[in-house]
Amino acid sequence: MRMTLVARGLAILMLAMVLVAPVAAAASIEERRDEVRKMADSTLNRLYKEKPSAQAAIESAAGYAVFSNHGFKLFLFGGGGGKGMAVNNGSGEEVFMKMAEVDIGFGLGIKKFSVIFVFETDKAFNSFVADGWKFGGQTTAAATDGVSGDSFQGAVVVGPGIWMYQMTDKGLALELTAKGTRYYKDSDLN
């Protein structure tokens, strides 16, 4: 009799856990999405304060993406990872993404930075979101688009119709780097 009650109690507990688990998982996914949204808003606000013309450039673009990255460098090897989101300005669609970075070359340290991509065309935005993106190289800031003057000053062209701003804790980076960086959809949050 006592074993039957214990068995029934365990069965009810297990059933409750099975029914509640998807609800708890869904809540944590939405919380994680909200974290990414807050990071993106905060990063954009910092960029707009540092470079006011960036706001008009981003708002008039086909879309944008914002990522936060934490990286390290230990002698010859380094790496990092981060999270972010891409937003289609026309439809308002949000795509949650991740990034991974590999760096080879001498150095030592830990860095935290944010990257903001601006997509001039739907084609550039859709390609970035659908196919992910791999990037390698390094360049120095201040390019202009030749059309709207300084709207992209402090950014660099990183592909056809794609501009990139990089922010550190001290403001706009003087040197933009994305060595061996891959951007891809976050299958957990989409």
Q: State pLDDT tens for residues 26-68.
A: 558 999 999 999 999 999 999 999 899 899 999 999 999 999 9
95 token code pair: 């795509």
Supply the pLDDT for residue 39.
97
Supply the pLDDT for residue 159.
77
Supply the pLDDT for residue 177.
52
174 token code pair: 């003087």
The answer as to whether 131 is a domain residue is yes
Looking at residues 92-118, what average pLDDT do you find?
A: 85
* Structural domains of the chain, count: 1
Looking at residues 70-95, what average pLDDT do you find?
A: 88
Please give the share of the chain, as a percent, with pLDDT higher than 70.
65
The answer as to whether 144 is a domain residue is yes
Supply the pLDDT for residue 77.
78
Residue 116 has pLDDT above 90, yes or no: yes
The answer as to whether 155 is a domain residue is yes
Confidence band, pLDDT 50/70/90 cuts, at residue 83: very high
CB-based burial, 69-90: b 16+ in 10 Å, e otherwise: bebebeeeebebebbbbbbbbe
161 token code pair: 């119709």
Supply the pLDDT for residue 158.
74
The answer as to whether 72 is a domain residue is yes
pLDDT tens by residue, 147-189: 443 445 566 777 788 888 888 776 565 545 556 788 899 999 9
Tell me which residue range forms the domain holding 107: 48-185
The answer as to whether 37 is a domain residue is no
d(CA 100, CA 103): 10
The answer as to whether 103 is a domain residue is yes
Q: Comparing 34-38, 68-72, 138-142, which segment has the lowest mean pLDDT?
A: 138-142
d(CA 118, CA 121): 9
Q: pTM here?
A: 0.74
**Chain centroid offset of residue 155 CA:** 17
The answer as to whether 149 is a domain residue is yes
